[in-house]
Amino acid sequence: MTWLGLDDKVAVVTGGSSGLGAETARSLVEQGARVVAVDLRGGDRASGITFIQCDVTDPSSVTNAFKAIGEEFGRIDILANFAGVNRPALVVDYYHGDSSKEATAEDFDFQVAVNQKGPFLCAQAAARFMIEQKSGVVINITSEAGAEGSVGQSIYASTKGALNAFTLSWAKEWGRFGIRVVGVAPAINEPTPMGSSGHVAALAYTRGTEPSAVSDDYSVRIPLGRVGKHQEIADLVTYLASDRASYITGTTVPVTGGKSRG
């Protein structure tokens, strides 16, 4: 048995085909867990990971995915909600006066559907197993922006703030069943699909500056002097999923290198 005691635990990782989700899926496998990566892109069974294609915004797709997980594994011990999107845009384009580049209702609906509705649907489906088992861990991947806000990312930040509230509320609802709910709030990390050059360029536009200036600002505001690594997030999630963290619930852990907006 590994030190974390995750041997044969069944872990579901949404957004598990790329970026932070994929890194965490691998980390859980290394600690002995049986991992199901739930992702819109799908994938093939490999290295101890089972891939199930699923649209986390679609109730029927989520129901079918978790039904399949139940049929194959019979239980769910861990849910890690990684699936997320971000479309930087100002509510009003006061820098450039271009209303065509302002945040739209479609931007709002899309980000809320993936970042807020998706975790709700997946947690609801997973909790049905966990309540019956009287054990389980739900980990919500939020963001520093969810607690502190962010220029040009108000919709994204609001969805992450909602995840912080979900974390607090679900911990209170499900604690009586032995279920823990924890949030993990990264700040700036090494490139992911969400942190691509296109994303940085869009963010720079909302701040009336150049992409290089955004990167320079990050380096100044992070006391450790570097961005975070995927493995550092994965290691924390893997620890929180284990019984070594058995008294941690109803809180969100920042992983920021000391970064703040002060």
Is 247 a catalytic site residue? no
List Cβ neighbours of 48 (8 Å cut-off, separation of 6 or more).
29, 34, 35
Instruction: Provide the 3-class DSSP secondary structure of residue 132.
Output: helix
Would you list the DSSP string of 1-45?
--TT--TT-EEEEETTTSHHHHHHHHHHHHTT-EEEEEETT----
> For residues 95 and 42, what is the distance between their CA atoms, to the nearest angstrom?
40
Per annotation, catalytic residue among 94, 95, 156, 239: 156
Would you say 237 and 24 are in contact if contact means Cβ atoms under 8 Å apart? yes
> For residues 171 and 138, what is the distance between their CA atoms, to the nearest angstrom?
9
Active centre residues (catalytic): 156
